Amino acid sequence: MSRPFLEKIASDNREYVQSLLDENERLGMRVATLDSELSTTRAELEQRNREFAERYLDVEQQNTNLANLYVASYQLSGTLDRERILAAVQEIVINLIGSEELAIWEVDEEIGALSLIGSFGIDAREWVGVPLGNGVIGMVGHAGERFVITESAVHPFGREQHLTACIPLKLDDKVIGVIGIFRLLQQKQGLEPLDFELFELLSSHAASALYCTRLREVAQ
């Protein structure tokens, strides 16, 4: 074979090999791009799955909260028996809010004080009567403004030092009673959004229920 012919074959082979190398590099870059896109897609799918799981848990929690509110409301409105109303209030505070130290007072306008009508986990003798306007509990009974330890700059002291919340029981703007909630259960870290909804429910529904039981007792 002539030298020029051999050189041409060698040149053609080099070009062919170089084209293979270029194609291999191009394919490698394409594979890397696809791997990157696949990783991004996987990350997006994982993020969407996490968001979906969080939304599902939120919906489940909302459903549970609504069920609890419905049960609590039914317990308060489903009877005219005073003892059952007081028991329902205690059950709501103990099982839903999470405190086993509570007291329920009714306003006694004749003596200007809150008169204890129900309690759990406290020394009832110490809380038989609370003068209106005296201490945090007395002020709630007098002014009708809710006290929650996380919302107030006031820090109760003395026998009220463990007070977590004090809820006025109101008919329109008239205070007919007060619920005092002291220490929360040890496993409960603090008040939650549902607790504040329960405070509102107790403030109105428990007030109406107790007022109706009082009217019923007077009528009988």
Locate the domains of the chain by residue range.
Answer: 1-77, 81-219
Selection from 193, 154, 63, 116 nearest residue 146 by Cα? 154
Task: Name the burial class of residue 100, with classes exposed (0-12), middle (13-18) and buried (19+) by CB atoms within 10 angstroms of its CB.
Answer: middle
pLDDT at 26: 80
pLDDT > 90 in the chain, percent? 43
- The 10s digit of each residue's pLDDT in 18-38 is 777 777 778 778 777 777 777
- The 10s digit of each residue's pLDDT in 142-170 is 999 999 998 887 888 899 999 999 999 99
In terms of DSSP bridges, do strands 113-120 and 165-171 run parallel, antiparallel, or are they unpaired?
A: unpaired
| Token pair belonging to 3 | 């030298």
Residue 204 has pLDDT above 70, yes or no: yes
pLDDT at 141: 96
111 confidence band (pLDDT: 50, 70, 90): very high
Assess contact for 191 and 161: CB atoms under 8 A: no
Q: Which amino acid is at 90?
A: Q
Assess contact for 152 and 166: CB atoms under 8 A: no
pLDDT at 86: 92
Selection from 178, 167, 210 nearest residue 77 by Cα? 210
pLDDT at 10: 61
Interhelix angle 3-77/207-219, rounded to 10 degrees, is: 20
pLDDT at 31: 76
What pTM did the predictor assign?
0.70
**CATH 3.40.50.1370 given to domain 81-219:** no
